[in-house]
């Protein structure tokens, strides 16, 4: 199994438009962050987690030629805004793109991309197969077992995903005791860490580190970082052993 971080930034990315802070002006490529998403390759099956506005650029950068399905954590634009670009996969793979998400999220996708679901669609519109999931029930994608993990993004329910020993949580500021049981024993944990300062809907750096310390994965990666979190070169040396600030293009091989 291989995990690749397609994007590790917030809804505005880094650099942020109009910002002149040290992070946004950094020349370090690890500080250039597209909107958060990931690619998971397991047993010959390739899955994307979220498809934000940078989806096209991310697919091109990683030379993704085949994509079997997209898993959505929630419906915010920075996680679904690139779905129109599944058209290329439709063309080359000659089939609709399966989209796995909660029913609420699928309804939102249908509203935002209404033209893709019209009865008499314009030629070349994206072909999307909507597959509803339940947050309390595992599902399979071409034989790959995926366990949803409920989390809260302020008042909005979101889902993370566990596949084998890898668990991925983004855009969350609360994980229940029941969800922590689903995360127990994971070897690799990915969790969002927006900034150091308190935030109403995202884990802070300290909150993310507390969750990691509680779950004790062998390795942990921080994602969905804002420019306020600081530059990679400044932050990484201060993190506990086994914890890394993820960056765009980072790949992790898992057993």
Whose tokens are 């909107």? That residue is: 35
Q: What pLDDT shows up at residue 250?
A: 98
Q: In what order do the strands lie in the sheet with 251-253?
A: 128-133, 97-102, 69-71, 45-49, 37-42, 2-7, 251-253
Query: What percent of the chain stands above pLDDT 90?
Result: 98
Instruction: Give this prediction's pTM.
Output: 0.97
**Phi then psi dihedrals of residue 208, to 5 deg:** -65, -40
Q: Model confidence over 196-246: pLDDT tens digits?
A: 999 999 999 999 999 999 999 999 999 999 999 999 999 999 999 999 999
Radius of gyration of the chain (CA): 17
pLDDT value at residue 255: 76
Question: Under a CB-based contact definition with an 8 Å cutoff, are residues 98 and 131 in contact?
Answer: yes
Domain ranges of the chain: 2-248
The CA distance from 219 to 217, in Å, is 5
- Asked whether residue 133 carries a pLDDT value surpassing 80, the answer given is yes
**What's the pLDDT tens digit per position in 75-116?**
999 999 999 999 999 999 999 999 999 999 999 999 999 999
Rounded to an integer, what distance in angstroms lies between the CA atom of residue 226 and that of residue 8? 9
User: Which of 3.40.250.10, 3.60.15.10, 3.30.930.10, 3.40.50.800 would CATH assign to domain 2-248?
Assistant: 3.60.15.10
């Amino acid at each position: 199994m291989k995990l690749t971080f397609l994007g590790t930034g917030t809804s505005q990315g880094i650099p942020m438009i109009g910002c002149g802070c040290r992070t946004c002006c950094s020349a370090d490529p690890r500080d250039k962050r597209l909107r958060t998403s990931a690619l998971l390759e397991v047993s010959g099956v390739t899955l994307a987690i979220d498809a934000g506005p940078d989806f096209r650029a991310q697919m091109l950068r990683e030379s993704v030629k085949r994509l079997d399905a997209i898993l959505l954590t929630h419906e915010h634009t920075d996680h679904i805004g690139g779905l129109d670009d599944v058209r290329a996969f439709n063309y080359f793979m000659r089939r609709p793109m399966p989209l796995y998400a909660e029913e609420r999220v699928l309804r939102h996708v249908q509203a935002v991309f209404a033209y893709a679901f019209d009865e008499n669609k314009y030629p070349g519109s994206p072909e999307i197969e909507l597959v509803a999931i339940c947050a309390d029930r595992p599902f399979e994608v071409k034989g790959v077992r995926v366990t949803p993990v409920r989390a809260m993004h302020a008042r909005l329910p979101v889902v993370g995903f566990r596949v084998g020993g890898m668990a991925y949580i983004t855009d969350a500021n609360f994980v229940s005791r029941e969800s922590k049981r689903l995360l127990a024993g994971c070897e690799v944990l990915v969790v969002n860490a927006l900034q150091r300062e308190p935030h109403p809907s995202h884990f802070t750096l300290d909150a993310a580190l507390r969750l990691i310390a509680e779950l004790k994965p062998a390795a942990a990666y921080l994602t969905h970082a804002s420019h306020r979190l600081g530059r990679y070169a400044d932050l990484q040396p201060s993190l506990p052993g086994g914890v890394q600030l993820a960056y765009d293009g980072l790949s992790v091989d898992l057993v």
